[in-house]
Amino acid sequence: MSTVMERVDTWWFDCGPLQAIPVRGARIVRTPRRDIAVFRTANDEVFALDNRCPHKGGPLSEGIVHGRKVACPLHNWIINLEDGQATGADKGCTRSFPVKLENGRVYLDMGIAAAP
């Protein structure tokens, strides 16, 4: 028996204007499979992570953004916004998602986000 891999195409979802996301904060995009936190840094960079800390599932969207990292509000684990990796002595990773900024609007790749 062969296994068929289904290709998930890129599909950019318009999350709205960058200004709708607080500076050094986040906005949640809810999907049928997970909540995704879309973060904005002080330099107006955007990143997207699964809204669950790899430690105990804390809501990363409620954490404090500093530089390109976010601190989990439950136990202060520091998570890299670029790749979802915990920093320092902490071990673990949360899923990151492709995101882009065009003409002042934030787009999240929901084709990838829909995959298991």
What is this structure's pTM?
0.85
Cα–Cα distance, 59 to 79 (Å, whole number): 12
Burial label, 15 (beta-carbon count in 10 A; 0-12, 13-18, 19+): buried
CA atoms within 13 A on the CB side of 49: 32
Decide if domain 18-113 falls under CATH 2.102.10.10.
yes
Cα–Cα distance, 55 to 84 (Å, whole number): 12
- Block residue for tokens 């990773």: 93
Quick: pLDDT tens for 79-96: 999 999 999 777 889 999
Cα–Cα distance, 70 to 81 (Å, whole number): 7
Quick: pLDDT tens for 33-67: 899 999 999 999 999 999 999 988 999 999 999 99
